[in-house]
């Protein structure tokens, strides 16, 4: 996908997440899990586009690869700023995703934890983008 398409999708996931939060995260845990996961993948793709690791249509990342170190090593460029921190946060998100999307209802703390991880990822990537022009 082109970067513009990733940006549009990312904005959509953020809007959906904000709506789910506004309506109540406990009742919307599946929406939270899905939109955090997909939003983080879109943000990661935007990051790699802006760092010029992927060009034009680039790669489309499957959210599931972030749970598996071998898949990550195969699919993701070797080095970029804060690689380990970013991929660790992506892994944390994906490990929680299926629990929220397909599991029984969870307590608010579990859902809030996922949102906090997502916000930490957003802050880290946005800070790196500002520092790297």
| HEC per residue, 90-131 | HHHHHHHHHHHHHCCCCCHHHHHHHHHHHHHHHHHHHHHHHH
Predicted confidence (pLDDT) per residue in 101-127, tens digit: 988 888 899 999 999 999 999 999 999
For 76, the token pair is 């993701």
Q: What is the pLDDT of residue 75?
A: 85
CA distances from residue 120 to 36, 37, 92, 124, 126 in whole angstroms, order as listed: 12, 13, 11, 6, 10
pTM metric for this prediction: 0.92
Domain ranges of the chain: 3-131
């Amino acid at each position: 996908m082109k970067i513009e398409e990733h940006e549009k999708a990312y904005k959509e996931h953020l809007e959906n997440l904000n709506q789910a939060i506004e309506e109540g995260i406990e009742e919307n845990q599946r929406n939270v899990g899905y939109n955090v996961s997909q939003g983080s993948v879109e943000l990661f793709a935007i990051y790699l586009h802006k760092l010029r690791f992927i060009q034009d249509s680039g790669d489309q990342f499957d959210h599931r690869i972030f749970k598996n170190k071998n898949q990550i090593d195969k699919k993701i460029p070797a080095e970029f700023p804060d690689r380990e921190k970013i991929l660790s946060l992506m892994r944390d998100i994906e490990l929680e995703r299926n629990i929220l999307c397909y599991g029984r209802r969870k307590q608010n703390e579990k859902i809030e934890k996922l949102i906090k991880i997502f916000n930490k990822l957003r802050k880290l990537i946005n800070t790196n983008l500002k520092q790297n022009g």
